[in-house]
Amino acid sequence: MRAIPPKLAANLLDYGRHLEEEAARSVNRQQRGTDDSRLNFYLMWFAAHGGVGDPRMPHAPLQARNFVLACYTVALVRGETLKGIFIKKATIQG
């Protein structure tokens, strides 16, 4: 904002706030869409591999739940993704 004269910057401040709000809303909407896509893909993967009921498997032993998630991670690493592309290590690490 240094390149803009002070009076002009002051007069445009309200517009700038609106732009910031819209940008933040857009980012949040995109992240929500990404989260929904990832969840839906996991649910499809779980069902396609014979999973029945709650994919969180709350009544299964912890070791069994961890095994299913580890297998899903391997599937993602192999390129079995929504877009059919390999994912990066950083994505897996969160």
In tens, the pLDDT along 62-85 reads 999 999 999 998 898 888 888 888
Number of domains in the chain: 1
Task: List, for residues 22-73, the tens digit of each pLDDT value.
Answer: 777 766 777 777 888 889 999 999 999 999 888 889 899 999 999 999 999 8
**Residue 56 counted as domain residue:** yes
Predicted pLDDT at 27 = 67
**Residue 78 counted as domain residue:** yes
Given a cut of 80, whether residue 19 has pLDDT beyond it is: no
**Residue 1 counted as domain residue:** no
**Residue 46 counted as domain residue:** yes
**Residue 69 counted as domain residue:** yes
Which structural domain range is residue 41 located in? 6-93
Best CA proximity match to 10, nearest among 23, 22, 1: 1
- Across 31-46, b (16+ Cβ under 10 Å) vs e yields eeeeeeeeeebbeebb
